[in-house]
Structure 1
Amino acid sequence: MSATAAVHRLVRQRDAHAGWALLRADNAHAILALLTRHFGQEIRRRPAPELFELLDDDLQELRESGFHLPRTGQGYCTDWVRAGFLQRRADGAAREETLEPTDGAYAAMTFVEGLTAPVSAATESRLATLSTQLQSLARDSDPRSETRMSALRAERDDIDRQITAVEKGEFAVLDGARALERSAEILHLASEVPGDFARVRAGFEELNRDLRARILEDDSGRGDTLGDVFRGVDLIGQSDAGRSFTAFYDTILDPARSSQIDDWIESILARPFAAQLDADQLRRFRRLLTDMEAAAAEVHSTMSSLSRSLRHFVQSRAYEEHRHLQRLLRNAQHKAVDVARVRKPFDNLDLHLIRVGMSIESVAAFALHNPSDDLVTVKVDTPPTGVVDLEELRRLVRESEIDFDELTANVAATLRARGRASVADVLAVHPATQGLASVVGLMALASRYGHSTTDTDLVEWTSTAGITRRAVIRRQLFDPTAAEFRRQEGSSQG
């Protein structure tokens, strides 16, 4: 590649890659510090309100230390999402938005971490890793059975020699310094996993957009991409990236492999050199497999969700509406090009455009409810306590409720005197002290402890305003054997 081509390629990458943009941002030091602080090995995404609150506390501390960071955590997060440092995702379970670093942000964070805590490229463990990978690649890519058999026999002979040496007690034990070096190399490789998963997920999303664009661009019936989706082919899962990740996901979720990795980690932490590891390194070793499984599960969920979404996009015929909209937009663009040849943007047109639509406002424009606004700030005067007048309380209760105790006693007294009684009979002997309420109460008692007849009665009462009222009601006779009235009779005799 010529120097000119290389420069142009890097210029395009500088303008398009979020990691490069983050490194040359004015507040790159603060952005990287805050992202690294809140998105470490164990936490890859946070609910947006939680992140806003954490950033507000950190920003206040930084301002007190002399850094000029005038905006709020929410304001900075909005800028970082727009710049491609953070990515919004909808969390269906919690019904709130989450934020997580993009693959570009992880690339910048890994680069800076390598500057502050560099890992030597000439370590024995790094060379051993390269040798193992080269040997595996040379063996697995060899199509000849003769050379494969020769390599396997050589490997078997080497293993036999090692077994013989171990049986004789002639083997070297890795010393503390070299063991710590390999431990650091393992943890460094593990620290790159979140960025790798972010790039894989971004690759799936880019593939999803490319497949949708191909479906919209192919207007000639059912093209290859559209036909594959209609036939149920999982184009995302069966892509090169999808097959590679699926193989990794199946391997890491294999119970035998997981148990083996756990045993290895427990054995390493039981070695004497593990006492020289700090608390953070010990924690990262213990969570190595758990964090990798959780991150892989998130990527697998994204891949499955994109596959389902693409299949629904095709099977629901939604792509036809998108095609129609795309044709309208392109038609409008072509007409705009034709008009641009004869009209200028600043020309006055003899047109009166009526603007129709709705006002769209940001959610941030709404004023939040402050519970403290409903608090009473003036002093509440407590009246002095006094003696309760039972008769006054009874009078207040009678103003709002029907006195069924009085009505039941009146019915019982009338039944004792006459043997039988209707609502009109009771009112004739015991006037309605509560006006219409007494009449309604007697009718309620009669419907519960009596029965109706086909005859009618004329009832009379005096309203609270002193006006005499009359009404014709169906005759209702009380049951003299009802326990409610017999109790009243017993209490009056007692």
Structure 2
Amino acid sequence: MINRAEGAYLGAVRAFQNPMLDLLHKRHAPLVVSVLSACFTAERPNVSVADAHTQIGDALDQLRAAGYDESLPIGTSRDLCRQWADAGWLMRQVVDDVEVYRLSAHAVDALDVAGRAGGARARVSQSRVRTMLDAVERLAQDADPDALVRMARLDAEIRRLQQELDRIQRTGAVEEVDDEQLLEEAENLLHLARELPADFARVAESIKSMQRDVVTALRQDERPTGEVLREYLERAQHVMEATSEGRAFAGALRLIGDPQRLDGLSNQLDVVLRHRFTGRLAPQQRTELREIGHRIEQGLDLVFTTQREASYVITAQVRNHDPLRDRQVDDLLRDVMTGLQTWMPESRRGQSVDPLRRLPVAEVDHLRQTAGDLRPAQPPAPLEDRDDAVVDVTSDEARAWGGPHYAELDRHLVTLADGRSIVDVAVAFNAAPEALRRPVDLLGLLELADNQGMEETDELAFVDAVRPDGTRRRLAFGGVTTRMKEAVDE
């Protein structure tokens, strides 16, 4: 039987196991909070891994130069980021083929708590109490199914609004609210807005958790694929109803889906920022007021992006799922991790590792050399003797359709050069007789030119080729020139 004190203690122990309280409870919590809040902002929720390491490293160097070396943790910025990711404060993912860090929901909550504790103290204001009373009233209305009670409340609300309308129409004046009360309401609004990023991050992390569960179930191959996907679709359908942050996201989704509501929100914030009481707000608070709509859009984009990534990963897993290959990959990764765990305690910092220059050769005793056909191998049937298929290769007609006439082409080049050292191949081909202007002779001429030393002219050359049957073809190729052998010998 657990007594009251033990129950309270166990509850506190479970609470401090939460990554948010664990972050604030650490010895180096001020460094973590300050560095993460400077690196990740509302305008830059995702930071590439390389940029984060550089920025955090610069911050550590500046703090050490200022004399805070003893209060800083040991290790590089890369080591600290890896520790913070293992602790659940940073999330590592790939966005547009770039590996980035982003704050987890626990880290967002921790930074919010630290910011409120280090800033102005929250006050029990009229705005805060009215927010609570309005929430209680809406809860009571939603929980009470009595139609008569609901009608009485609506009648009272209509009479109150009608009296307010009559007063304004009669006097033409609107009662001004005290600047102090407006300031309290603005601070309460900012307090509510600061909780939105953490809520959106929790929804995204719940989708990521579902993705990991589904991929794990598919890789284990213990249940049918259809059953796993059906469970995932049911969880995805109810994720917006199962948690408070999911319900907050659903409400924001209804807001963002109505352009008039968004325009109204922007106009209302402009009205607030033009009022004189905003001059008493800090510049950062005015910026937060102005960017409330932008924060909602950022949160929705985060959730939608996470949903798309989860769908893509699960679809790829289903499409390429191979249980045998997945088990082989798991065994290989397990062997690699075991090898690293064995090697790391005995290694030194900066120790070189001999690379694997070639893959090991499989030791196979015998490879099968024949197919499993019991019939003996049969030689192919002999070719038939056909007198009509014999072609006289010595005839002029057969030679006309044969390969290039190298000797004639070489003599033609020498004659055309007439002592010149450079000859244009296209000019030489067009000047040859029709018997040497076959398409195949152009290839032979280019081959001879290449053997003697060929250079490109960066111009397009055109030649007219004549086949043995008299048909003509116009051919184009990159212009080239060749050096004659006589010129080279000289």
For this structure pair, what is the TM-score category when the shorter chain's length is used for normalisation? 0.5 to 0.7
What is the aligned partner in structure 2 of residue 85 from structure 1? 89
AA aligned to 1:143 is: P
Residue pairs, 1:329-340, within 5 angstroms: none
CA deviations on 1:363-392 (whole Å, 9 max, x unpaired) are: x9999xxxxxxxxxxxxxxxxxxxxxxxxx
Residue pairs, 1:29-178, within 5 angstroms: 29-68=30-69, 69=72, 71-91=75-95, 93=96, 95-169=97-171, 171-178=174-181
Higher mean C-alpha displacement, 252-261 vs 242-251: 242-251
Secondary structure in 2 matching 1:66: coil
Change (3 A) 1:453 1:224: closer
**Alpha-carbon deviation of 1:34?**
0.8
Secondary structure in 1 matching 2:175: coil
Secondary structure in 1 matching 2:27: coil
Secondary structure in 1 matching 2:236: coil
What is the aligned partner in structure 1 of residue 310 from structure 2? 306
Secondary structure in 2 matching 1:77: helix
AA aligned to 1:180 is: L
Q: 2:268 aligns with which of 256, 264, 269?
A: 264
What is the aligned partner in structure 2 of residue 349 from structure 1? none
Change (3 A) 1:446 1:285: same
**Alpha-carbon deviation of 1:160?**
1.4
Whether contact under 8 Å (1:237, 1:307) holds in the other structure is no
Whether contact under 8 Å (2:201, 2:299) holds in the other structure is no
CA deviations on 1:180-226 (whole Å, 9 max, x unpaired) are: 22112211221121122122222232344455667788957688655
* Residues in 2 aligned to 1:52 and 1:326: alpha-carbon distance in whole angstroms: 30
Residues 1:194 and 2:176 aligned together: no
Change (3 A) 1:271 1:321: farther
* Residues in 2 aligned to 1:213 and 1:423: alpha-carbon distance in whole angstroms: 74
AA aligned to 2:237 is: G
Secondary structure in 2 matching 1:235: helix
**Alpha-carbon deviation of 1:67?**
1.5
**Alpha-carbon deviation of 1:295?**
1.6
Secondary structure in 2 matching 1:46: strand
Change (3 A) 1:67 1:210: same
AA aligned to 2:127 is: S
Residue pairs, 1:355-394, within 5 angstroms: none
* Residues in 1 aligned to 2:413 and 2:63: alpha-carbon distance in whole angstroms: 84
What is the aligned partner in structure 1 of residue 295 from structure 2? 291
* Residues in 1 aligned to 2:416 and 2:229: alpha-carbon distance in whole angstroms: 87
Change (3 A) 1:119 1:222: same
AA aligned to 2:236 is: I
Q: Percent identity of the aligned residues?
A: 21
Whether contact under 8 Å (1:236, 1:307) holds in the other structure is no
**Alpha-carbon deviation of 1:136?**
1.2
AA aligned to 1:38 is: C
**Alpha-carbon deviation of 1:268?**
0.9
CA deviations on 1:428-458 (whole Å, 9 max, x unpaired) are: xx546x5xxx5xx266532144445469xxx
What is the aligned partner in structure 1 of residue 282 from structure 2? 278
* Residues in 1 aligned to 2:11 and 2:311: alpha-carbon distance in whole angstroms: 32
Whether contact under 8 Å (2:203, 2:303) holds in the other structure is yes
Whether contact under 8 Å (1:235, 1:307) holds in the other structure is no
AA aligned to 1:302 is: T
AA aligned to 2:197 is: P
* Residues in 1 aligned to 2:110 and 2:275: alpha-carbon distance in whole angstroms: 35
Matched residue count: 361
**Alpha-carbon deviation of 1:312?**
5.4
What is the aligned partner in structure 1 of residue 427 from structure 2? 445
TM-score normalised per structure 2: 0.63
Whether contact under 8 Å (2:221, 2:323) holds in the other structure is no
TM-score normalised per structure 1: 0.63
Secondary structure in 1 matching 2:101: strand
**Alpha-carbon deviation of 1:278?**
3.2
Higher mean C-alpha displacement, 127-136 vs 160-169: 160-169
Whether contact under 8 Å (2:88, 2:104) holds in the other structure is yes
* Residues in 2 aligned to 1:248 and 1:38: alpha-carbon distance in whole angstroms: 27
Change (3 A) 1:77 1:442: closer
Whether contact under 8 Å (1:45, 1:100) holds in the other structure is yes
Change (3 A) 1:59 1:291: same
Whether contact under 8 Å (1:216, 1:322) holds in the other structure is no
**Alpha-carbon deviation of 1:125?**
0.8
What is the aligned partner in structure 2 of residue 14 from structure 1? 16
Higher mean C-alpha displacement, 198-207 vs 441-450: 441-450
AA aligned to 2:207 is: F
* Residues in 2 aligned to 1:251 and 1:176: alpha-carbon distance in whole angstroms: 29
Higher mean C-alpha displacement, 32-41 vs 6-15: 6-15
Residue pairs, 1:202-221, within 5 angstroms: 202-210=205-213, 219=222
Secondary structure in 2 matching 1:238: helix
Secondary structure in 2 matching 1:318: coil
Whether contact under 8 Å (2:412, 2:432) holds in the other structure is no
Secondary structure in 1 matching 2:94: strand
* Residues in 2 aligned to 1:211 and 1:425: alpha-carbon distance in whole angstroms: 80
What is the aligned partner in structure 2 of residue 26 from structure 1? 27
Whether contact under 8 Å (1:48, 1:98) holds in the other structure is yes
**Alpha-carbon deviation of 1:80?**
1.4
What is the aligned partner in structure 1 of residue 257 from structure 2? 253
Secondary structure in 2 matching 1:283: helix
AA aligned to 2:56 is: L
What is the aligned partner in structure 2 of residue 404 from structure 1? none
What is the aligned partner in structure 2 of residue 237 from structure 1? 237
Change (3 A) 1:453 1:37: same
CA deviations on 1:262-301 (whole Å, 9 max, x unpaired) are: 1111111122222333332222222210121122121122
AA aligned to 1:268 is: V
Secondary structure in 1 matching 2:122: coil
Whether contact under 8 Å (1:216, 1:323) holds in the other structure is yes
Change (3 A) 1:162 1:454: closer
Whether contact under 8 Å (2:272, 2:278) holds in the other structure is yes
CA deviations on 1:327-347 (whole Å, 9 max, x unpaired) are: 999xx9xxxxxxxxxxxxxxx
CA deviations on 1:59-86 (whole Å, 9 max, x unpaired) are: 2211111122454333321221122221
What is the aligned partner in structure 1 of residue 361 from structure 2? none
* Residues in 2 aligned to 1:303 and 1:365: alpha-carbon distance in whole angstroms: 42
